[in-house]
Structure 1
Amino acid sequence: LNDICYVNNFSDPDYPIALSFKAGEGRQFKKEVNYIINSLRKAIPKIFTGDDYKDKKNRIISDYSNRQKKILAKFEKKMTESGFVMMQLQTSDGTIRTDLQPIIDEEPASLEKLEHLVREGKFSKERLEEIEGRRNQLRREMEQIGSESKKLAAKLEAVLEELDYSFISPLISDKFDVLKKKYTEKRVVEYLESAKQALLNDLDRFKEARPRRGEEDPPPFRKKEPFEEFAVNLLLDNSETKKVPVIIENSPSYRNLFGTLERVVDRFGYWRTDFSRIKSGSLLRASGGFLVINALDLFTESGVWQPLKRALTTGKLEIAGYDPFYMMAGSALQPEPIPINIKVVLIGNRRIYHTLWHYEEDFKKIFKIKAEFDHVMELNDKSLRAYVSFIRKITDNEPLPPFDAGALEEIATYGCRLAGRKDRLSTQFTNIADIIREAGFCAIDKKRKTVTKNDVRFAIRQKTERVNLTETKIQEMYDNNTFLINTSGKKVGQINGLAVYGNGEYSFGRPTRITVRTSVGRAGIVNIEREADLSGPIHNKGVLVLTGYLRGKFAQKKPLVMSASICFEQSYTGVDGDSASSTEIYAILSSLAHIPIKQGFAVTGSVNQYGEIQPIGGVNEKIEGFFEVCKSKRLTGKQGVLIPVQNVDDLQLKPKVIKAVADGKFHIYPIKTIDEGIEILTGVPAGKELPRGGFTKNSVFDRVDKALDKMAKQIKASAKEDESNENSKSKN
């Protein structure tokens, strides 16, 4: 890790210099430079007011003053001998000018006056011309003396500067030499040398503005900070950073990511900036570590993506002011680019990732590693310890009461339910944290020192009740028989299917009546939902699988000729998914065999063409949904749900359902094949295929086979009758 400082570029202030130090050295460097400047500001004025300096300065000034006096005295003597005197005259515009006038009759007289006397005949013309000649000669000598005086003043100023330098230079050089020995990096040494020379080249900066007569302090407009250019702008300070920095940028605007150049209004009303107003962003603060950004937030900010690509591609950060609307005058300041070594982590969904991968050419060059986070994790000791640590972290930070063993177990159970499997835990930690907090508040409300499992269950129940209005309204329709569902008795061609409803934040299951009517015909299986454009593609596929199963089971030696209509009764929105395909087969078999199905059962599970039951989703919601309906219509002890055997590991049922199953009031039947399911639903053996053809006598499959055989014969007879009628019409 490094520290980064911006310092003044004394040769070109528009291009500030970036200096890099080891972590912690940047702060120390700034402190020591400030100390040197402050100590010089205190020490050097004392030197200028010291007796030794004053004595030497006064001697030099006195020497040059005497030399000037000698020159002036020599000129004045010659001027007097020539009969002239130097006069200070006021002009018409109020200015003062110096003039040489001759002495006539012991009085100075102007040339204009003498010319007037010549015209009157009172003064000789020859004498006037002589006076003018001497006057011009003296004026030339006076101009020469003025030039010599200026040269003498310049020499005096140079000698005084040398005097200042001789007194101040050793002090400044010694202090900067100490720093150069400590900070030996070439660029730092070069900066210190240039800073030293800048101080030595302008020692007047140590002579601060003083109050004028009658002032206690000089006014602000005459106060100038003469040493601001020697400040050190510590842009990145890692002196207290012990680990690799991980910066999470929640608001990735241009300013927050890259930094900016702050502008201020000076006393003249102009916007200005300098190296001391350069500010860092999260991209620099994360240098040497990781910067985490939400991809959606990044791409909703204007003017950010292209500079970010450039910085990651070149490995250099350029800090500039961002003014997309050009409301301020642009700054000429161009800070030196800073080398950065950083890993940027973009967090987003698959859609954003694939969009960037396909349409942003540079994305795949810059972001080479893709990591996907699962919404579940394996249930083991390590993950359970992580869950406990997560709970502890929240209870410590909030603060909330500690969770006892029962509450911890209940949270883990809730995590399993969110994951949808017994051997998995959910990583939807936002939802888990909400339950933890609500359970904690529940315990506080009841003035308990620890959170119990009952508090967790109460929190889960409360959360459910806040979002289950749709479920409540639908349940009311079952209670008042608006939705027609039988939970007892038997019916031919009628069965209870199970569906899952969801609104994004909450899902629940409820039964739906599925009916089948079969007849002689060639229409095959008619999906009424599809005909009404209420069936999704997966459900349509599931219905087509039914035909494959029936052909494979009953149409190896005869054609499959029948018409069967399948309907999801009182379904007005849409049906999709194949979890009801096994349910539909049971209803078709019941209708063909004229064997009633027990209405106390509900069924879920998809099926393949070989009659094997396949797993489905939402098994817990479906079981609990049918349980609620059965409970509202009275539990008989003969009700239950048929589920795929593969979904047994996914069961995470509510305590009341588990209790009802344990008490024998409700049942769950895991099945592997259609054969197992039809026997449970009808109480009649499914039947086995016999070597000579057909199925076990009086079994379900036997009755179905005979019914299909009868339909085939009826179709054949009907076809012959139609052919005979056609022939009779032809003869007539």
Structure 2
Amino acid sequence: MSESDRKVPVDKLRWVCDPSVFTFNSTSDISGLEGSIGQQRALTSIDFGLGMSSHGFNLYLAGEPGTGRSTTIESMLRKRTMDSPPPPDWCYVNNFETPDSPLAISLPAGKGAEFADDMQELLDYVRSNIPAVLESKEYESDRVSIIEQYQERNGEIFSQLEQDATEQGFALQRTVSGLVIVPQKEGRNYTQEEYEGLDKDERERMDGVGRELTEKLNDALRQVRENEKGLRDDLARLDRELGISAIGHHLDPLKEKYAGFQKVLHYLESVQEDLLLNLEDFKPQTPPPQIPGLKLPRQEPTFERYEVNVVVENDPDSGAPIIFESNPTYNNLFGRIENVMQMGGVATTNFTLIKAGALHRANGGYLIVDAREVLLNPFAWESLKRCIRNSEIRIEDVLEQYRFMTVVSLKPEPIPLHAKIIMIGSLWIYHLLFYLDPDYRKFFKVRADFDSRIHRTPEVLQDYALFVAAHCRKEGLLPFSPSGVAALLEYAARQVEDQERLTTQFMELSDTIREASFWASRGGGQVVDRKWVRKTIDEKIYRSNRIEERIQEYLADGTILCDIDGAVVGQINGLSVLTMADYSFGRPSRVTARVSLGRAGMVNIEREVKLSGPIHDKGMLILTGFLRGRFGNDKPLSFSASICFEQSYEGIEGDSASSTELYALLSALSGLPIRQGIAVTGSVNQHGQVQPIGGVNQKIEGFFALCKAKGLTGSQGVMVPSINERNLMLNDEVVEAVEAGRFHIWSVSTIDQGIEILTGVPAGEPGADGRYPEGSVNFLVDRRLREMMESMHRFAVEEKEAAKLEAPKGDPA
């Protein structure tokens, strides 16, 4: 096949989208996109994961940023939850038995706030009516009657005791230490001298009577204490009856209203009991004593314990919640217990300060988080796994285990978890979690893989047009014409370097749509056509290609040596790609090879100075395998060769230059010069087959820019692997130059095809005797290797003979 037959036809240099495939005048005439574009594999996985209700079937959406992961899952969930029942509301209430452990109560959607209002109404009623009842004449009359009854009983007890004491010459008197029985004489107490002046028998009689009376006094005091207890009980019973009559007719309707909720009924019973036990709190409070110059606040009893803290409130008219948590910190995910600073810096809290997290709001629905953010936030990942494992949401003070001193805090009752967790992240994070975290595969069993490219089909083209229409309508941008959409699709194909596929990096496409609308508006356009899309792409390049232009200047003025004309032995132009953040460009580089006698074999200068990576080193070793397989079957290979990227001062990686290096080596061995107007790219295997590489468009355009700067001669071009033909999406300038015959693109599948184009000499196929045709490239290489082998053998013999002649007599040598 001749050199011209290896040229890539102009129609294969890029895919051109025909605007006639679109039937609209502008995207304003069509509806927006519903759903996603392509990604059938991911959609199937998501549908399966959302349908599985078994434990652990949570989802991980893997893919590159901008591939529509968030938009797709949101769209699917909106459709799925449209007709689904809303989850219940959740409230925290006071636990009257254990105040440190607030109770969690579940109510149907919308009933949580209603229950809170009912309890607030009850509290308002109690606070306004209980004091009025306690101050009523009827209550005061009953209270006075009970007190008077007990006072009368106590009076009778002491009256009888006083009568007994008087009859026996004693009196009941009150002292500082209490009531005592003292003997009397003539209406007065005995003096100490009078008592001691009594005879023994009289004193003993008097002492015995005193003891009996003292026992009666003790009995009387016991009866009085029992009466006081009975008084308190009767007063409490009066208050209880009063409280029941006052709040019962208001609390009973609540019990009927929430009859189907046992936990609520139990709570209402606790509220009633606590109200009845603390009726004193509703009485008017006396002001505290004031200190001159210091006004103390009046201490009012708090009734927060009767309030309802609605932590999750769902709309009864909407479906299951869909929660995107953009900042998945521990508190934002699992809730928190807030504190209030009091006077003196003391922090206090109660169940009304419990705040819900994203998991609470997503309970009964779906929680979507970014995998990287979850892993970066302390405690978030481990706590999330614990919630999934135990199927409950527990609000805890995560720092408690790290404190030296235990701080009194609340332990709210955990809430059952029934939510589907969806993490969005890169495939790299997925693999890290899968292999490094043994629990991960238990809890996230479904992976939805979003591809960064999709096959180009007529249906996909129409979907992209709908995507453009939806984006323009949503952001108020200028509509696109069919030619504008076609140019955008060509740009989408260029992004993935494939004539049969389109990029799914919708973030990049969205930015391009916005920028094209901007330039069209500035230019006075009413629609965005191909001209404005092309200007957008050119402007993007211009904003980022300063380094590329500087390198092109060095190449053009000869600072960086790179010939584009003539022919040189052992010298060739290779192509590499430099990436500067979001911009990549091709850079031509001179590759040289020198060959000499020796046994060192291939010497990679980059490797010797540690400027090459392992993949590049592998490519160099493949060259040795190729030479041995082709030329070492009938002779040992004895040579030394050095290969170098000239004027390269940074690291080199990749094997895309291995075919280039092999061409330079074959030229150096054969003595045939290589055309300097041709740049080469492509990797090679040990059989001499040229393999595909990446960045083919940037490499071609980089060499074309150099040739254009130095002057196009019509014989210049780039040689690429045949497999890379489908990856060609060259810019308009290169395509026009190829069409005009001022530049050329060749494609080859073997080293032999490439060396023929570079040298103009046939590569040569081995005959039946294994020899190559005389004058062919392979013949010249084989002959040179044989000559070098023979020269090495001859030098070895001569050195051995010389050593014998120089050896002194008697020397065993």
Residue 582 in structure 1 maps to residue 659 in structure 2? yes
1:67 Cα deviation from its structure 2 partner: 9.3
Give runs of aligned pairs for residues 695-706 of structure 1, distance below 5 A: 695-706=772-783
- Contact 1:496–1:601 (Cα < 8 Å) also in 2: yes
For residues 466 and 618 of structure 2, the distance between their equivalents in structure 1, rounded to whole angstroms, comes to 46
Instruction: Describe the shift of the 1:405–1:618 C-alpha distance in structure 2 as closer, same or farther (beyond 3 A).
Output: same
What is the aligned counterpart of 2:563 among 478, 486, 490?
486
Residue 251 in structure 1 maps to residue 327 in structure 2? yes
- Contact 1:64–1:152 (Cα < 8 Å) also in 2: no
Map of 1:234 onto structure 2: 310
Give runs of aligned pairs for residues 527-538 of structure 1, distance below 5 A: 527-538=604-615
- Contact 1:57–1:163 (Cα < 8 Å) also in 2: no
Question: Counterpart of 1:510 in structure 2: which amino acid?
Answer: R
Map of 1:168 onto structure 2: 246
Instruction: Describe the shift of the 1:207–1:388 C-alpha distance in structure 2 as closer, same or farther (beyond 3 A).
Output: farther
For residues 244 and 779 of structure 2, the distance between their equivalents in structure 1, rounded to whole angstroms, comes to 122
Map of 1:123 onto structure 2: none
For residues 75 and 690 of structure 1, the distance between their equivalents in structure 2, rounded to whole angstroms, comes to 143
Moved more, 475-484 or 163-172: 163-172
What is the aligned counterpart of 2:105 among 3, 19, 39?
19
Q: Helix, strand or coil for the counterpart of 1:189?
A: helix
For residues 242 and 622 of structure 2, the distance between their equivalents in structure 1, rounded to whole angstroms, comes to 103
1:670 Cα deviation from its structure 2 partner: 1.4
For residues 725 and 269 of structure 2, the distance between their equivalents in structure 1, rounded to whole angstroms, comes to 79
Question: Counterpart of 1:317 in structure 2: which amino acid?
Answer: I
RMSD value, Cα: 4.6
Map of 2:255 onto structure 1: 177
Question: Counterpart of 1:677 in structure 2: which amino acid?
Answer: G
1:582 Cα deviation from its structure 2 partner: 1.6
Give runs of aligned pairs for residues 705-720 of structure 1, distance below 5 A: 705-720=782-797
Instruction: Describe the shift of the 1:513–1:73 C-alpha distance in structure 2 as closer, same or farther (beyond 3 A).
Output: closer
1:680 Cα deviation from its structure 2 partner: 1.8
1:209 Cα deviation from its structure 2 partner: 5.1
Map of 2:266 onto structure 1: 190
Question: Counterpart of 2:477 in structure 1: which amino acid?
Answer: L
Question: Counterpart of 1:279 in structure 2: which amino acid?
Answer: K
For residues 572 and 147 of structure 1, the distance between their equivalents in structure 2, rounded to whole angstroms, comes to 103
Q: Helix, strand or coil for the counterpart of 2:697?
A: helix
Cα deviation, 1:397-417, whole Å, max 9, x if unaligned, reads 544333333333333333322
Cα deviation, 1:119-162, whole Å, max 9, x if unaligned, reads xxxxxxxxxxxxxx9xxx9x989999998996896477356425
- Contact 1:489–1:600 (Cα < 8 Å) also in 2: yes
Question: Counterpart of 2:393 in structure 1: which amino acid?
Answer: L
Q: Helix, strand or coil for the counterpart of 1:276?
A: helix
For residues 211 and 730 of structure 1, the distance between their equivalents in structure 2, rounded to whole angstroms, comes to 125
Question: Counterpart of 1:16 in structure 2: which amino acid?
Answer: P
TM-score under structure 2 length normalisation: 0.74
Map of 2:552 onto structure 1: 475
- Contact 2:240–2:276 (Cα < 8 Å) also in 1: no
- Contact 2:281–2:301 (Cα < 8 Å) also in 1: no
1:28 Cα deviation from its structure 2 partner: 3.2
Instruction: Describe the shift of the 1:58–1:575 C-alpha distance in structure 2 as closer, same or farther (beyond 3 A).
Output: closer
Instruction: Describe the shift of the 1:327–1:23 C-alpha distance in structure 2 as closer, same or farther (beyond 3 A).
Output: farther
Cα deviation, 1:656-702, whole Å, max 9, x if unaligned, reads 22222222221111111122212222223333322244333433333
For residues 37 and 495 of structure 1, the distance between their equivalents in structure 2, rounded to whole angstroms, comes to 92
Residue 681 in structure 1 maps to residue 764 in structure 2? no
- Contact 1:24–1:237 (Cα < 8 Å) also in 2: yes
Instruction: Describe the shift of the 1:387–1:520 C-alpha distance in structure 2 as closer, same or farther (beyond 3 A).
Output: same
Residue 341 in structure 1 maps to residue 423 in structure 2? no
Residue 636 in structure 1 maps to residue 713 in structure 2? yes
Residue 463 in structure 1 maps to residue 540 in structure 2? yes
What is the aligned counterpart of 2:492 among 382, 406, 415?
415
Instruction: Describe the shift of the 1:240–1:667 C-alpha distance in structure 2 as closer, same or farther (beyond 3 A).
Output: farther
Q: Helix, strand or coil for the counterpart of 2:258?
A: helix
Q: Helix, strand or coil for the counterpart of 1:573?
A: coil
Give runs of aligned pairs for residues 97-112 of structure 1, distance below 5 A: none
Give runs of aligned pairs for residues 76-115 of structure 1, distance below 5 A: none
Moved more, 654-663 or 293-302: 293-302
1:443 Cα deviation from its structure 2 partner: 3.4
Question: Counterpart of 2:328 in structure 1: which amino acid?
Answer: P
- Contact 1:61–1:156 (Cα < 8 Å) also in 2: no
1:622 Cα deviation from its structure 2 partner: 0.6
Residue 288 in structure 1 maps to residue 369 in structure 2? no
Give runs of aligned pairs for residues 303-314 of structure 1, distance below 5 A: 303-314=379-390
- Contact 1:25–1:239 (Cα < 8 Å) also in 2: no
Map of 1:568 onto structure 2: 645
Instruction: Describe the shift of the 1:348–1:67 C-alpha distance in structure 2 as closer, same or farther (beyond 3 A).
Output: closer
- Contact 2:577–2:584 (Cα < 8 Å) also in 1: yes
For residues 448 and 525 of structure 2, the distance between their equivalents in structure 1, rounded to whole angstroms, comes to 43
Q: Helix, strand or coil for the counterpart of 2:648?
A: coil
Map of 1:505 onto structure 2: 582
Question: Counterpart of 1:172 in structure 2: which amino acid?
Answer: H
- Contact 1:560–1:712 (Cα < 8 Å) also in 2: yes
- Equivalenced residue count is 701
For residues 413 and 341 of structure 1, the distance between their equivalents in structure 2, rounded to whole angstroms, comes to 46
Map of 2:15 onto structure 1: none
What is the aligned counterpart of 1:8 among 84, 94, 116?
94
Q: Helix, strand or coil for the counterpart of 1:319?
A: coil
1:283 Cα deviation from its structure 2 partner: 2.4
1:614 Cα deviation from its structure 2 partner: 0.6
- Contact 1:169–1:200 (Cα < 8 Å) also in 2: no
Instruction: Describe the shift of the 1:588–1:171 C-alpha distance in structure 2 as closer, same or farther (beyond 3 A).
Output: same
1:18 Cα deviation from its structure 2 partner: 0.9
Map of 1:85 onto structure 2: none
1:610 Cα deviation from its structure 2 partner: 1.9
Q: Helix, strand or coil for the counterpart of 2:591?
A: strand
- Contact 1:605–1:615 (Cα < 8 Å) also in 2: yes
Q: Helix, strand or coil for the counterpart of 1:668?
A: strand
Map of 2:393 onto structure 1: 317
For residues 230 and 662 of structure 2, the distance between their equivalents in structure 1, rounded to whole angstroms, comes to 120
Cα deviation, 1:601-649, whole Å, max 9, x if unaligned, reads 1111111222211101111111111011111111122211110111111
1:278 Cα deviation from its structure 2 partner: 0.8
For residues 75 and 310 of structure 1, the distance between their equivalents in structure 2, rounded to whole angstroms, comes to 70
1:47 Cα deviation from its structure 2 partner: 5.9
1:46 Cα deviation from its structure 2 partner: 6.3
Instruction: Describe the shift of the 1:62–1:706 C-alpha distance in structure 2 as closer, same or farther (beyond 3 A).
Output: closer
- Contact 1:248–1:291 (Cα < 8 Å) also in 2: yes
Q: Which structure is higher in RCO with an 8 Å CA cutoff and minimum separation 6?
A: 2
Instruction: Describe the shift of the 1:657–1:175 C-alpha distance in structure 2 as closer, same or farther (beyond 3 A).
Output: same
Map of 2:338 onto structure 1: 262
Q: Helix, strand or coil for the counterpart of 1:31?
A: helix
Q: Helix, strand or coil for the counterpart of 1:221?
A: coil
- Runs (5+) with no aligned partner, structure 1: 83-88, 99-109, 119-132, 213-217
Map of 1:661 onto structure 2: 738
1:280 Cα deviation from its structure 2 partner: 1.3
Instruction: Describe the shift of the 1:306–1:707 C-alpha distance in structure 2 as closer, same or farther (beyond 3 A).
Output: closer
Cα deviation, 1:354-379, whole Å, max 9, x if unaligned, reads 55555544444444445554433333
Instruction: Describe the shift of the 1:322–1:567 C-alpha distance in structure 2 as closer, same or farther (beyond 3 A).
Output: closer
Q: Helix, strand or coil for the counterpart of 1:474?
A: helix
For residues 704 and 157 of structure 1, the distance between their equivalents in structure 2, rounded to whole angstroms, comes to 120
Q: Helix, strand or coil for the counterpart of 2:586?
A: strand
- Contact 2:588–2:702 (Cα < 8 Å) also in 1: yes
Residue 405 in structure 1 maps to residue 482 in structure 2? yes
Instruction: Describe the shift of the 1:484–1:268 C-alpha distance in structure 2 as closer, same or farther (beyond 3 A).
Output: closer
- Contact 1:595–1:682 (Cα < 8 Å) also in 2: yes
1:281 Cα deviation from its structure 2 partner: 1.2
For residues 115 and 225 of structure 2, the distance between their equivalents in structure 1, rounded to whole angstroms, comes to 50
Instruction: Describe the shift of the 1:57–1:384 C-alpha distance in structure 2 as closer, same or farther (beyond 3 A).
Output: farther
Instruction: Describe the shift of the 1:427–1:331 C-alpha distance in structure 2 as closer, same or farther (beyond 3 A).
Output: farther
Moved more, 526-535 or 258-267: 526-535
For residues 607 and 542 of structure 1, the distance between their equivalents in structure 2, rounded to whole angstroms, comes to 8
Q: Helix, strand or coil for the counterpart of 1:377?
A: strand
Instruction: Describe the shift of the 1:551–1:320 C-alpha distance in structure 2 as closer, same or farther (beyond 3 A).
Output: closer
1:508 Cα deviation from its structure 2 partner: 1.2
Question: Counterpart of 2:255 in structure 1: which amino acid?
Answer: D
